[in-house]
Structure formats: C-alpha cells, structure tokens
Chains A and B, each alone.
Chain A
Amino acid sequence: MVQNLDWLFPWRWSLRRLVVAGLLLLLLLSFFSIVRLELVVNGLFLGAIIALGAMGLTLVYGILKFAHIAHGDFMTWGAYIAFFLLGTLLPRLGLSGVGFGPFTFGPSLFLALPLTILALVAIAIILDRIIYQRLRRRGIGTVVIAMASLGVAIAMRGLVQVIWGGETEQYPRLSKPFYQLPMDVRIPPDGLFIAAVTIVLVLSLYLFLTRTKMGKAMRATSDNLDLARVSGIDTGKVVWWTWAVGAALAATAGVLLAIFQAQLYPIMGWRFLIPLFAAVILGGIGNPYGALAGALVIGVTSEVSTEWLNPTYKPAIAFAMMILTLLLRPRGLFGVRD
C-alpha cells in the first residue's frame, strides 16, 4: 500500500536525503549570517577563472592520462602574450585605449584575447609534437610524462622571465568604481566580464562535447582509448583537439586572472596549479562539469576563508580540500564508480 504514494514523491526523496538536504540548508543559512556575501561573490569570480583552467586540465588528464603540470604556466603564457599584444603590438598599430564601457581594459582586448588563444593553441600543439608525442610513441609511462611536463612548466616560466623580466606588470588600464549592490556587496565591473566569458566558454564546451563528432570522439577516447582505436577513431587528431581546447581555456583563464588581479607576474600560473588540481580532483578526474563545480567550490571556500585567515593561506585551503577529497571520496563529487 505504501508504494501507492509514490506518485506524491516523483523525485523519490528518501528520509536520509531529506535530512541531509535540511542540514545543508541550515548550514547555508548560518553561513550567510556569518560570512559577508561579498566574499562569496568574489569567490565565484575566482572560481570561474579556476574553472577555465581546470576544465582543460581535466580533459587532458582524461584523454592523455597524465597530470599536466605545465597547465598553470600555460595560463601565465596566455597572460603574457596578451600583455605583449595589449601593451606593445596593438598600440603600435594604433589600437590602444583603456576604460572600454564599464571595464578597466580597452576595446583592443576583444582582438587580443582571440589572438592569444590562437598563439597558445599553437604552442600547446608544438609542445606535444616535440615532447609528449615522442614519449607516448616510445611507450613511456604516464608518470614519467607528468615529470616531463614539470620540466616544461619550469622552462616556460623561465622563458617568461627571460623575455619579460621578473617584475610585476599590468595591462594598460583605467581604474573604475566598483558596483555597489545591496547587502554590502561591492563587485568590480571586470567581474561581470569574467562571468560572461566563462558562461559563454562553458556553454560552448558543452555544445562541442555533446553535439560535434570530434567532441564525442574526445569523450569516447577519455572513456576507453583502445576501444576508440578499434572503432576507427583517429586518436591522434583527438589528442590535438584536446590540447587545442585545453590551451584555449588556459589562455583565457590567464588573461582573465591578469585582469582580475590587475597584475601579472611570472609565477602567477604556477601558484594557480594547486587550486586547478583541487578542482579537478573534487569534480572527478576527466569530468569537465565536475571540474566546473569543483572550481566554484574551491573559489568560494578559499575566498571566504580570508574572513578568518590571512589571504596567503588561500592555496592551503585548496590543498586541504584536495586532500580531504582524496581521503573521503577519491572518485570526486561527480565521479562514477566503475
């Protein structure tokens, strides 16, 4: 007789789930009474930037099966290539100006960002050709390939210092007043740009992975490389597309980070590596939407922690969450048990 009430609860809440949901709601309510909403909002902006890096990182991890340690330095390179375009090349061509609309940057960013993406995609594919592809062809283990990417990371950072020097730089910018919102929330106008770009890229990635032949082939290769090969999928091409998508997202993340922090420096991406990996692991390795959710959680948590902790501990918070995930739920929040 009890089963007949099922139609009342089409979503099938079990008692346990109701209790958990209630506790989460209580937790959320108390959270907002203690924590300033402003920190949460800023955490979401930071999380959006982490997400762009982490989604690319998790795709590379899922398809090439190694931890790409140079991903943070891809972001640094994105930031610096855009710095060269915005600060040197485009002004010489007569494209300068700052303070476009409500933003701090000039309209030339809308040209610089796509060019930066193209440049970093090229760099990523060249790096794969001259380093990672050779190692794969020799049948070298993924741990060794990850170590090679550590070498690439250090070399890329060194090269930034050789070319641009070690100082902190800035894009040409015009300071703008923050938006004042209710509940004492102040948000930088550039935050809206960051949110908009992230939403557009996440949607594009979703459509790419679910609607295009190459996107589906990437998911298939991530599921099972051998089966992809015997299905006739050109896995060499899949690898190139993976680098292209990963590098495009990392380049954008680097540029947005330089805008958000209003500065760029050679170790900016390297420092971002722990939040990136924390988001990837929290979301379940290989799952881009998991990485997105993980990144937002990491962003908000580390930003909110500054209420009580010195901001220099932000990476430590991300690291702690990564360790906790590995201990309690190694397949991540959205990982599927095999």
Chain B
Amino acid sequence: MSLLQVDKVVAGYGETEILHGISIAVEQGEIVTIIGPNGSGKSTLLKTILGLVRPRSGQVTFNGKDITGMAPERIVRKGICYVPQSSNVFPSLTVHENLEMGAFVRNDDYSHRLDEIYSLFPSLTERRRERAGRLSGGQRQMLALARALMLDPILLLLDEPSAGLAPNLVTLVLEKVIKINSTGVAILLVEQNAREALKLSSRGYILASGQNQLEDRGKALLDNPEVARLYLGAREG
C-alpha cells in the first residue's frame, strides 16, 4: 500500500474539467516529480489531493485512509502539508507569526520544532520580526517551505517552489528540498525546471492535458529521448 494513492481522479473548476482520470502514487520517503506542459493539470492535481478542489470521481487515499473530498483543514491534520506556487506567505504577518500560523493545529509546545526550522533556514532567523511582505522572492519561498514544515508533515506537496527565482536561488531551493526529504518527509513536486527536478527524484510522472502519459524512474525519464524532445527541450543534458 502506497503512502499516497490517487486513483482515476476527475476534477475541475465550474464547467471545465481539467483532470480526466489521473492516477499516481507516492511511497514513504520518496521524492516524486510531476512534469508536463502548462495547462496539463499539475497544480490542479495538488489542489485536489489537498481538498481545495473537490474531485468529481475517483479516490484519494493517504496512509490507508480515504481522504477524497475532505476539507483542507482536516487533511492537513492527517499529515499532508502544501506550499502553493504564489501567494504562499501571509504578507502582513511577521516571519515568526507566519511560522506560528503553520503550527496552528498544534496545541503542544512546539518551540523545539521552531528551533529546528530556524536552523534549517538560518536566513529567516535574522528576519523573524520582519513582515513577510517585505521579504525578497527567494526568502519568501524559504518562509513558505518553513511554514509548511511546522506540522512535521509525512508528505509535502510543492507547487513549483523555484518559479520566478534566479538560477542560483533555484539551486538553493532544490537543495532545501533534498534536505527536507532526508529528514524522512515524502515529497510530491511539481516543477518547471524539469531536468533539475528529475535528477533529484526517485520517480517521475508526465502529465499532458489532464491525463497520465508516462511514469518511470527519474533517471530513466531523463535518459528517454522521446521525453527529452517533448518535455525537457531539445538540449541534451
């Protein structure tokens, strides 16, 4: 039984159907990357797993429990945390308050966890009293990751964590992703920098127009000439 099992999920907004029966799985401790062209439904898939979009049919199972159609605030308590692509911090709250909101459902003393997070993201420590809206793009992204880690998630959903960042920051963010994964957190990653993302993934899925195209090991997808031509750009890495 996989940690996360998405089974033939159909979902969309209003009249438009975006996912036409997607199935993916994430095992304990894995990094899994979803790549695919714009509009292929990658973000919608993450939102559906987390309950922000209600699936019309199909099933989402996490840790052996059916979480299909559950409200996000309940799914979060089961151990899935999510970092949206944009607007992923509370701009008028301070850095520290953002982390406190990440720990909202915790009623225990989580000061130990705060220390761990601050040591994982040292640049946030100096700015803990600053409003998140004043942070630079890279630091916002770090704060967004940190916020999502406050609950000690079992699975982390990341929607393009490196979008809009300068190349050196992209590397920095992806390094953090590996570091987070090394603490035992499984990661489901949607990424534009497909080549970089596949390199660090155990497995990858390719989505196109709301349907599964291909699933393979990360390295195998990188070496697949068809994949390279269609989804990674013609350049040979």
Contacts and interface: CB of A to CB of B under 8 A. Distances in A.
B72 A230 contact: yes
Contact of A224 (B52, B72, B90): B90
Contacts of B100: 213, 216
A329 interface: no
Interface string B67-109: 0000111001100011010011111110001001110110000
Interface stretch (A51-59, A140-148, A231-239): A231-239
Nearest to B82: A230
Contacts of A233: 73, 101, 104
B73 A227 contact: no
A234 B73 contact: yes
A50 to B, nearest CB: 23
A226 B87 CA distance: 10
B203 interface: no
B50 interface: yes
A133 to B, nearest CB: 15
Contacts of A228: 90, 101
A36 B102 CA distance: 52
Interface in B136-195: 147, 151
Given A230-B52, A231-B147, A223 B93 contact: yes
Contact of B77 (A216, A232, A336): A232
A305 B210 CA distance: 63
Max count, chain B CB within 10 A of own CB: residue among A222, A227, A230, A232: A230
Nearest to A286: B92
A287 to B, nearest CB: 8
Contacts of A232: 73, 76-77, 104-105, 151
A119 interface: no
B87 A224 contact: yes
Nearest to B89: A227
Contact of A230 (B50, B91, B133): B50
Interface residues of A, number: 19
A235 B89 CA distance: 17
Interface in A210-254: 213, 216-217, 219-220, 222-224, 226-235
Nearest to B92: A223
A245 B73 CA distance: 23
Contacts, number: 65
Interface in B119-138: 133
B130 to A, nearest CB: 14
Contact of A216 (B76, B89, B91, B101): B101
A224 B132 CA distance: 13
Contacts of A231: 76, 101-102, 104, 147
A216 B87 contact: no
Contacts of B77: 232
Contact of A229 (B52, B97, B147): B52
Interface residues of B, number: 26
Given A232-B104, A232-B105, A227 B72 contact: no
Contacts of B147: 231
Given A229-B52, A232-B104, A219 B92 contact: yes
A336 B134 CA distance: 11
B84 A336 contact: no
Contacts of B81: 230
Contacts of B102: 231
Contacts of A235: 73
A180 B84 CA distance: 61
Nearest to B131: A336
A227 B104 contact: no
Nearest to B157: A230
A226 B90 CA distance: 11
A220 B84 contact: no
Max count, chain A CB within 10 A of own CB: residue among B77, B87, B151: B87
Contact of B93 (A220, A229, A230): A220
A224 B102 CA distance: 13
Contacts of A219: 90, 92-93, 97
B101 A220 contact: yes
A227 B92 contact: no
Contacts of A336: 91-92, 133
B25 to A, nearest CB: 22
Contacts of A224: 87, 90
Interface string B18-34: 00000000000000000
A227 B97 contact: no
Contacts of A227: 84, 87-90
Interface of B: 50, 52, 71-73, 76-77, 81-82, 84, 87-93, 97, 100-102, 104-105, 133, 147, 151
Interface of A: 213, 216-217, 219-220, 222-224, 226-235, 336
17 contacts: A213-B100, A220-B93, A222-B92, A224-B87, A224-B90, A226-B84, A229-B52, A229-B71, A229-B73, A230-B52, A230-B82, A230-B84, A231-B76, A231-B102, A233-B101, A234-B104, A336-B91
The 6 nearest A-B residue pairs measured at CB: A232-B76, A232-B105, A223-B90, A229-B72, A220-B90, A220-B101
Given A219-B92, A227-B89, A231-B101, 5 more contacts: A213-B104, A217-B101, A227-B90, A231-B104, A336-B91
